[in-house]
Structure 1
Amino acid sequence: MNDDSKQSLGGRARAEKLSREERSTIASVAAKARWEKESDNEMLKATHRGELEIGDIRIPCAVLEDGRRVVSEHGITTALGSRSGASKRIKKGAEEDGAQLPIFLAPYRLKEFITNEILDGPLTPITYKDKTRRVIGYPADAIPAVCEVWLKAREAGRLQKQQLQKAQQAEILMRALAHVGIVALVDEATGYQAERDRDALHQILSAYLSNERLKWAKRFPDEFYKQIYRLKKWEWPNQGNRTPFVGKITNAIVYEKLPPGVIEELQTRNPTKEGTGKRKWKHHQFLSEDIGQPDLRDHLMQLIALMRVSPDWSTFESHLNLAFPNSGDQMALSLSALKGEI
């Protein structure tokens, strides 16, 4: 047995002899030492701060001096429901064993749904300074990641009855955020959007759009169109000739939901032909392969998921309003022009 193994075994043996109170004291001292090690000069500061407003839910958020958007641990915990004593005890026990576990994912029944990818990504804690306070926060995209954990646990039937309310809150948050627009929401809540670089739009378009038109490839699954026909109560065309009206719907629920400025640039690069009103190419052929195309695919998958759980077009619109609010009008979306029947 090597020296490292002997030391490891010796450490575990000593830890097992300690009482819970002694382990708690040691953990507290260690945490305080780590906390004090971070000087004010090294700690990032919040340059902008505000609250995300999602219905009646308020989540404190901030933009740090390096541009990262963060939300507070307390805010996520409160958004999912009360800070239960059980969760606090579980978190405390985990910290005594050296684990970093946020309260909002402390319940043991969630453990199997928390992947290393999540722990090393959106659940990486960020300690920052907000004026005179030190705050523990997480990257803004932690919110949809946390919601997914709760929803997967509910779907698998792992939650206790008293935990179902938190899963319901997670569903409300997920519908409102749906992975898309969280950075924009933080920017709006903190006022940071007014101070972003003037070339931000150019940077977005450069990354999102391709310099050259890509070859045509099937990007829209058949189910996307079949769900539209089902929700609109239209008869599915046997010959595969879809009504041109579907193109207007596609623009409204797909392309107009892409990052600001993208649809305008697509219309410039892919104009309608004079006299026909039709376009020579498909808009998706101008999206970049590394960012634009994957984002389009993810957006379509989320739309299809919303369609599946909607019994009619009106209900789908309500879900769409929550999941993909228009820029500048988060909770209102009018598709009245698309409600007509053919």
Structure 2
Amino acid sequence: MDKHVKGGKARAESLSVEARSEIASSAAKVRWDREKLLPKATHRGEIRIRDIVLPCAVLTDGTRVITELSLNSILGTSGGGKQRQLRKASGVNWPLALSSKALEPFLPLVFAEGELLPIEYKDGRRKAKGYDAKILPKMCDVWLRARDAKVLQDQQLHKALAADMLMRGLAQVGIVALVDEATGYQDQREKDELHQLLGIYLSEEKLTWAKRFPDEFYKQIYRLHEWHWPSDGNKHPGYVGKLTNQLVYECLPKGVLEELRVRNPKKEGSGQRQWKHHQFLSDDIGQNDLRDHLLQLITLMRISKNWPTFIGHFEFAFPTPGQQIAFELEETRK
């Protein structure tokens, strides 16, 4: 028996029961605290490419992972005992699926430093280990380079065939999209992206009112409709407000108008909103986007002889919202 092992055993035996219990409790606490910091799998699924099935997950920090076990089943070895010993002895952390001697010359040509570090995470109650899903195409590339260099043994050629099949499948759609689809994470991703957009597009607090809509914007609406400009240029009929929503706010990024309606609800009884929607747009992003959009609209209005002509220009520039305005136009003619 190793002398260090003997010494450690002797020291343990010399400790009291209370001391040993305290040491064990401290060690357990350290392990527990370390595990609490691990990211958790929030979405799980399987990538299927022909006959290949790869379990995958999305973690709380947004990392897409593929388990080492699933990588081994496709590109690695069924046993892995010898490879695990060799990997442990050499101090490397890359997947067993890349532990063949024939692959080693190609690893530095494909992978950047640190790219093959394993990722530990919690999958329910158990602790799991995987790798960033983005390394999968590169793993396949390593196998194919080794095949083309004719350094693989005959019993390894079926792994290169699997790598070739995976690469062809991954060429059609990115690995991140595959993981998101397999786990259902794309729905959450869209929510997160919307949340990030609203975070920069809208202001945390309502801004002080300032004139954001140039008079020309409204004067052009009146000109194109052949309406008389009101004596009080600050008061317009409700239909003008409806057009403003369709021409402006419905053209803002998806989800912005819905959030504006939540932050600026209609008052009970009157049906009017207490503030202007533009007071909730962020000063640096939302307000600038509003200004640029209004300038585009005014330009389209200036080159239009009448409302139908303008609608044609508008539908060409902003096709989806334009369809709604064309419908309103037809109704006003009845």
Length-normalised TM-score, structure 2? 0.46
Structure with higher Rg: it is 2
Higher helix share: 2
